[in-house]
Amino acid sequence: MASSTHVPLSLQELKTLVYADLSDSELENLAQQSSLLTQQRFGHTMQLYAPLYLSNECVNNCSYCGFSSHNKIARHTLSPKEVRQEAQTLAQQGIEHLLLVAGEHPKHVGLNYLKEVMSEIKDLFAAISIEIAPLEEGDYRELTQAGVSGLVVYQETYNREIYKKIHISGPKKDYDHRMEVLSQGARAGMRFLGMGVLYGLAPWQDDFMALMQHAQTLQKECWKSSLMFSFPRLRDAEGFKGPEFPFTDRDFVKAICLTRLAFPEAALTLSTRESAHMRDSLLPFGFSMMSAGSRTNPGGYNINNDSLKQFEISDERSITTIKQLLKNKGFDPVSKDWEPSLHGTH
């Protein structure tokens, strides 16, 4: 069992476990260790956050994404004033940790636009992170000065051949550049680095091990920043149906538990890609953060437009409902647990 003196799993230990065909009792033991370790590090708190989609404009042609440039869909980019309107809706519902998300289109979502957005909304939230097109280190430094404190970048898959195949055209084809982005953000002052793979694009065990290795490297090189892990599974999107490689619920639980045992201090996030039933079942296994009331299209919270969602939400319960659920299960839903001037995001 995990203890207060828990030693994080090494890469070799992870490799042995991730490729092993664990019995039910062995998997249950991992789950118990992960749950206990999470309680020791985070208590019974669950940090709530929400994504706010700025734009579904994108210059990349990616086979798995609804925002892909080859999809003939309604496109929309929120003005900074519209972003504030959306943000106020979330803030009024008690959300204080926000994730700004956008397709990759430098003409519509560039540095100056993001700085304008931050000037409109930074007073509404305790912490704001970004999941946008990769920028340069100097740009990230300007955004940290504008109030951004977290950077989320998924490599999607670490399999170079598959990466090349699914990223058909656009700047996202540059695998090596994307690998460097989190390090650049850390050097620019980003306090929190969010990472993960899109499970279903490649054999999950291979991607998981590559992610763990990448994370260990970041932990050593970017020790002033804290890591956050997400576990997105492929969902149906415009022009895309289902994953090519299986990632079962059992695999999902295994990945969560091993991540917690390898990175006991990291934030593990649970998204609304998962069904309500699945999210309820996964709560005890190692998560310290979860999204609530999510919408995945620009203006999805209160601005009426026909812009397409990036992917289909599976858990559509409201923020209020999620808070009550957590309380019923013995968790303390946290909207704000520190001041941004002292700490940062998530």
- β-bridge pairing 332-334 and 45-55: parallel
> What pLDDT was estimated at residue 238?
56
For 129-150, what is each residue's pLDDT tens digit? 999 999 999 999 999 999 999 9
| Among the ranges given (194-203, 216-225, 284-293, 337-346), the one the predictor scored with the smallest mean pLDDT | 337-346
Task: For the chain, give the percent of residues with pLDDT over 90.
Answer: 74
145 C-beta neighbours (distance < 10 Å), count: 12
Angle between helices 249-262 and 204-221 (to 10 degrees): 20
* Domain 11-334, CATH class in plain words: alpha beta
Closest CA to 289 of 271, 311, 265, 301: 271
Given the structure tokens 């003196």, which residue do they identify? 5
For 73-131, what is each residue's pLDDT tens digit? 788 899 999 999 999 999 999 999 999 999 898 888 999 999 999 999 999 999 999 99
Assess whether pLDDT exceeds 50 at residue 254: yes
Given the structure tokens 């934030």, which residue do they identify? 267
Distances (CA, A) of 57 to 31, 199, 224, 233: 40, 24, 33, 22
Assess whether pLDDT exceeds 50 at residue 339: no
Give the pTM: 0.90
How far is the C-alpha of 140 from the C-alpha of 181, rounded, in Å?
10
> What pLDDT was estimated at residue 36?
96
CA atoms within 13 A on the CB side of 129: 27
Assess whether pLDDT exceeds 70 at residue 312: no
All structural domains of the chain with their residue ranges: 11-334
Residue 29 is encoded by which pair of tokens?
A: 């033991």
H-helix segments, 3-121: 11-18, 24-42, 80-92, 111-121
> What pLDDT was estimated at residue 304?
60
Assess whether pLDDT exceeds 80 at residue 335: no
> What pLDDT was estimated at residue 90?
95
Distances (CA, A) of 22 to 19, 28, 157: 9, 10, 24
